Amino acid sequence: GAGVSQTPSNKVTEKGKYVELRCDPISGHTALYWYRQSLGQGPEFLIYFQGTGAADDSGLPNDRFFAVRPEGSVSTLKIQRTERGDSAVYLCASSPGTWSDTIYFGEGSWLTVV
Amino acid sequence: QQQVKQSPQSLIVQKGGIPIINCAYENTAFDYFPWYQQFPGKGPALLIAIRPDVSEKKEGRFTISFNKSAKQFSLHIMDSQPGDSATYFCAAGRGSTLGRLYFGRGTQLTVWP
């Protein structure tokens, strides 16, 4: 596709369950970012990848959150033992490289933990 | 701690008005200041951005004013239209990783026809 694709668009899960959120960046983009947006707030940085490696994971809130990008394209954000406070929209963005000032966001995955 | 503070939280103007949204930051290491526009159900999209070596940047109806000494910057939307109704976020970044951004909490703008 032409833009950043995120799946699922909506996910409802029970507290304590494991969740995976997928991001398919724009073809050829080497930099990939994950952000979390709570209701009424601005996006909050979680992690970014340059190629396959996580260059900065300082925004991950705790060790229940993990992200991978094994082939330098698709990325998966993994959340273990979900808590109600994890409910938010998880946004993925990509750019041609970390030097690029234009990052392209997907529409997000809306996660609700009940 | 919020690295970028944004105000107002919401703003209502008539069509043709000039809404102004303000942001302030503390970290003098920031050297990149973008504004993003977000419509309901969509991801944020880059609107306009400025570097601290200039005091103003204009693109179409959107203008950023930047005051380095005050550590403040603002977005002005000239001749606002109902289609401009959206949430606007200011952000700040530094160094060579321009996608690693600190966002404000957003301003919900409504433009009445």
Phi, psi of B15 (to 5 degrees): -50, 135
Q: Do B43 and A100 touch (CB under 8 A)?
A: no
The model's pLDDT over A38-68, given as tens digits with 9 standing for 90+, comes to 999 999 999 999 999 999 999 999 999 999 9
- The span from the CA of B106 to the CA of A44, in Å, is 12
Q: Determine how β-strand A10-13 pairs with β-strand A109-113.
A: parallel
Instruction: Enumerate the residues of chain A whose CB falls inside 8 A of the CB of residue B49.
Output: 101
Q: What is the pLDDT of residue A1?
A: 53
Instruction: Enumerate the residues of chain A whose CB falls inside 8 A of the CB of residue B106.
Output: 40-42
Q: Do A42 and B6 touch (CB under 8 A)?
A: yes
Number of structural domains (chain B) is: 1
What count of other Cβ atoms lies within 10 Å of the Cβ of residue A103? 28
Residue B6 lies in a domain: no
Cβ distance B90 to B8 under 8 Å? no
Token pair 């991001």 in the structure block, residue: A23
Please report, for the domain that includes residue B26, its CATH number: 2.60.40.10
Residue A61: CA atoms inside 13 Å, Cβ hemisphere, count?
A: 12
Instruction: Spell out the domains of chain A, with CATH numbers in brackets.
Output: 5-10+20-107 (2.60.40.10)
Q: Do B99 and A106 touch (CB under 8 A)?
A: no
Domain that holds residue B87: 19-112
Residue B66 lies in a domain: yes
Instruction: Return the SS3 of B84.
Output: helix
Q: Determine how β-strand B72-77 pairs with β-strand B20-25.
A: antiparallel
- The span from the CA of A59 to the CA of A19, in Å, is 18
3-state helix, strand, coil in chain B (%, to 5): 5, 55, 45
Residue B101 lies in a domain: yes
- The span from the CA of A32 to the CA of A73, in Å, is 8
Nearest C-alpha neighbor of A62 from the set A42, A43, A78, A49: A78
Print pLDDT tens along chain A (114 aa).
Answer: 589 999 999 999 999 999 999 999 999 999 999 999 999 999 999 999 999 999 999 999 999 999 999 999 999 999 999 999 999 999 999 998 877 778 999 999 999 999
Cβ distance B82 to B110 under 8 Å? no
